[in-house]
Amino acid sequence: MTKETGILIIGAGPAGLTAGIYAARCGGQKVTIIEKLISGGQVNLTKTIDNYPSYPTISGFELATKMHEHAEHVGCEFVFDEIESIDLATKTVKLIDDEYKAKAIIIATGAGPRKSGAIGEDKFFGAGVHYCAICDGAFYKDKDVVMLGGGNTAVEDAMFLAGLCNSVTIVNLTPNFNANITLVEEMKKFENIKNIYHRHKILEIAGDEKPEKVICENLDTNEIFEIPCDGLFIAIGRIPDTSLLGPDIKTTEFGYIITDRKCKTSLDGVYAAGDVIDKDYRQVITACADGAIAATAAAEYIRSNH
């Protein structure tokens, strides 16, 4: 059975939930949010958030719960189901049991960090293993950390951490940094970025309740050794969730959706927000900002075209 809705939001992370709140407050349109798991997305896995305005400290799960309650309060309809297919041209989304047709769609499916595959990575996720230095670096003031990666993000994160931590050790899979040469030269000014291991792989993050060391392998000599540390930051890329969107929507070579300043995609009536779009910063607060912009623009589109 096909159900009609005004604004259909795919994904209930911070971007999707904020989009729902703003869309509902614009008035005049039914707002439906589709999520396959639980509201909040990956933010639920973040142990502590201390950089979201008005909350000096809050768990990711608690923040997600408050956002969900707010969206419900303003009248958003939530549908928790798996999406089978998406036709952006007709703005139709087919679920396992139902089908939704919308006047405008907001894609807020997010992007997940590319994992290293090391033993213990999932065990210590959010409690010693992190994928965002700006988000979680403050927890490691005057401590010793390891940075995994060799691209621009990894080098920038290493410098950010060096301004907080006692020491930063870099482990990089490739023979040299893939980062911009200017960034690499700037990084050399930090005396507490003490050790850099190219052509090395992290095999395991070891510890009891928190990481105590990482076990590395030299890929040229097969030597195995340990690096004591208090935490590990990983920056080896992210994977946007765009697998169901089809070829018509424009993306970057890495799969991120290209949008304009109003979060409009290459397709009329289709908007995108949060980590799934091509942008420089991926924080809870920036995802929320994207959601607000996308919802406002989507409501304007409907008023002009329906």
Is-catalytic flag, 135?
yes
- Please pick, among 132, 165, 216, 288, the residue that the annotation labels catalytic: 132
Q: In the 3-class helix/strand/coil scheme, how is the chain assigned residue by residue?
A: CEEEEEEEEECCCHHHHHHHHHHHHHCCCCEEEEECCCCCHHHHHCCCECCECCECCECHHHHHHHHHHHHHHCCCEEEECCEEEEECCCCEEEECCCEEEEEEEEECCCEEECCCCCECCCCCECCCEECCHHHHHHHHCCCEEEEECCCHHHHHHHHHHHCCCCEEEEEECCCCCCCCHHHHHHHCCCCCEEEEEECEEEEEEEECCCEEEEEEEECCCCCEEEEECCEEEECCCEEECCCCCCCCCCECCCCCECCCCCCECCCCCEEECHHHECCCCCCHHHHHHHHHHHHHHHHHHHHHHC
Q: 165 catalytic, yes or no?
A: no
Active site (annotated) includes residue 132: yes
Instruction: List the catalytic residue out of 26, 76, 87, 136.
Output: 136
Q: Of the residues 76, 135, 229, 288, which is catalytic?
A: 135
Q: Which residues belong to the active site?
A: 132, 135-136
